[in-house]
Chain A
């Protein structure tokens, strides 16, 4: 249970960091995502017993952070996506094992779930601060 909660908390931190980097630096989406993934891959495994899982989650969150400002326009959106992403990675640990792109697929599923929730709850809003570079 601790690992599960810690996984979500770390994902939220990484998501917020990714959004901040997109908004406040001139780094490209690839650079932001790769920097976040590299940090996760180097820092988390030695720090925690479940560090490998946390690193995977944060890497997936870094891919989700590549969203365009139109898809993810606030910290609230990014944190929601990050939380969902952590759940998807945790629940899907035994799905498509060893298949490259699995983390990206989990990230995309999380973003799509977030978009769906926003549409269902009529929470769609105009992008407020579109300072970040558009995603590809």
Chain B
């Protein structure tokens, strides 16, 4: 079933809720988490999906990208755009193939504002979740520019909904 594709629509649902000022409410948070749960269950039930070490590897690469970007952006004051671009460029030199994409996707998670993530803990969780979502949505929106950012936004929105960060 294509239901797992709903995972990548989490930020779109969050954007609609935000436009109507519903995202910080209990209703908004429940909608976001419900979309996540339905999508994850559908993704795990895909015949092609296999639980492997790649899931953990992706989560760790994404988390590293997120944390480094966040620190460069907020602690060194480089700004989110420059920090993410630097992490992407370095990642492209150090890593190969799809790992480059995962690192770049993690850097998008790290572009979040320090007002949303006052501590690094939830950001680490968002980074790890981003890597997991990358693997779960590997067949969604293939070849669509902005796909990585959408996955990153999904991870950030879910974590912020869980911790009440909106």
Contacts and interface: CB of A to CB of B under 8 A. Distances in A.
To the question of whether A and B form a pair in one complex, the answer is: yes
Interface in A4-38: 28-31, 33-35, 37-38
A136 B98 contact: yes
Interface in A75-108: 81, 92, 95-108
B145 A101 contact: no
Contacts of B101: 29-30, 136
Contact of A63 (B100, B113, B116, B148): B148
A42 B83 CA distance: 11
Contacts, number: 168
B53 interface: no
Contacts of A95: 15, 18-19
A96 B11 contact: yes
Given A98-B113, A101-B149, A28 B81 contact: no
B interface, how many residues as a size bin? 35 or more
Given A60-B146, A95-B18, A102-B153, 12 more contacts: A29-B101, A31-B88, A31-B92, A34-B92, A37-B88, A95-B19, A98-B112, A100-B112, A101-B108, A101-B154, A104-B146, A112-B144
30 contacts: A31-B88, A34-B85, A35-B85, A35-B89, A38-B85, A59-B81, A59-B85, A64-B145, A66-B148, A67-B145, A68-B142, A72-B145, A81-B145, A95-B15, A95-B18, A96-B11, A96-B14, A96-B15, A98-B113, A99-B112, A99-B113, A100-B108, A100-B109, A100-B156, A101-B150, A102-B11, A104-B146, A105-B12, A115-B144, A134-B143
Interface of A: 28-31, 33-35, 37-38, 40-42, 55-56, 59-60, 63-68, 70-72, 81, 92, 95-112, 115, 134-136
Nearest 10 interchain pairs by C-beta? A104-B149, A101-B153, A107-B146, A68-B143, A98-B113, A108-B146, A101-B152, A34-B88, A41-B81, A38-B85
